[in-house]
Amino acid sequence: MDWPSQTAAVIPCLNEQATIGPLIQAVRPHVASVLVVDDGSTDETSARAQAAGAEVLRHGRPKGKGAALQSGWRRCRELGLRWALTLDGDGQHSPEDIPKFFQCAQQTGAVLIIGNRMAELQRMPPIRRLVNRRLSQMLSRAARQSFPDSQCGFRLLELAALERLPISAAHFEIESEVLLLSARAGHKIESVPVRVLYAGERSKISPIRDTVRWLKWWGKMRGPGSGG
């Protein structure tokens, strides 16, 4: 299959003017189109994304990463594409790793492929490392399969499979929700090793607010026999 012609990159952004232009330029050779979802930025994110060749979808106010991703996925379906490749807008994901996702999907038939940063764990900020490890353990138990890096936003998703999932998350917990719902639906899920690119950027995650939100989501999603 000609993977680039069937795939759009979806990049949710909130005030990423410093990184979005070079990121788009590096991603464009790998996909049919690049969709930037500007989730209410107050800087030049939208203008710089358009200048770099992306289609920009803009939320008038911040609605959350989950809402931004869902806007991007809807647009992918409108364009008649089969796959969505998601990346964060802060430049922590290397576009050079994109072909690994296509190769994995081709070889395994998986409908969800997740980046795995665990080979370079020491390069991840300590708090992210600890939180990711704990959440990955909880989700792995609930799904009864191993997810080494459950919180990585660098992913390839088949849109037809994604559309059938009852996704409701509007914030950072969407990564966990897509993973758990996909596992419960019996979809094949794989991981590919990706490099870690942290350059001191400030995380958009609020440690207290988003942890409380995730735990509320977790309480709602856990069911009898979940193992969590």
Strand pairing category for 33-39 and 189-193: unpaired
pLDDT band at 226 (very low <50, low <70, confident <90, very high): very low
Please tell me the least confidently modeled range out of 38-47, 90-99, 109-118, 201-210.
201-210
Q: What is the pTM of this model?
A: 0.90
Distance, first Cα to last Cα, the chain: 38
Indicate the fold that domain 4-221 takes in CATH: Spore Coat Polysaccharide Biosynthesis Protein SpsA; Chain A (3.90.550)
- The domain ranges of the chain are 4-221
Comparing 81 with 200, which gets the higher pLDDT? 81
> What is the rounded CA–CA span in Å between residue 5 and residue 9?
11
> What is the rounded CA–CA span in Å between residue 91 and residue 34?
15
**pLDDT at site 181:** 97
Which of 66, 55, 76 has its CA nearest to residue 158? 76
pLDDT band at 134 (very low <50, low <70, confident <90, very high): confident
Q: What DSSP letter does each residue of 22-84 carry, written as one string?
A: HHHHHHGGGSSEEEEEEES-SSSHHHHHHHTT-EEEEESS---HHHHHHHHHHHHHHTT-SEE
Instruction: Please check the confidence at residue 212 and state whether its pLDDT lies above 50.
Output: yes
Residue 166, classed as helix, strand or coil, is coil
Average pLDDT value for residue range 70-97: 96
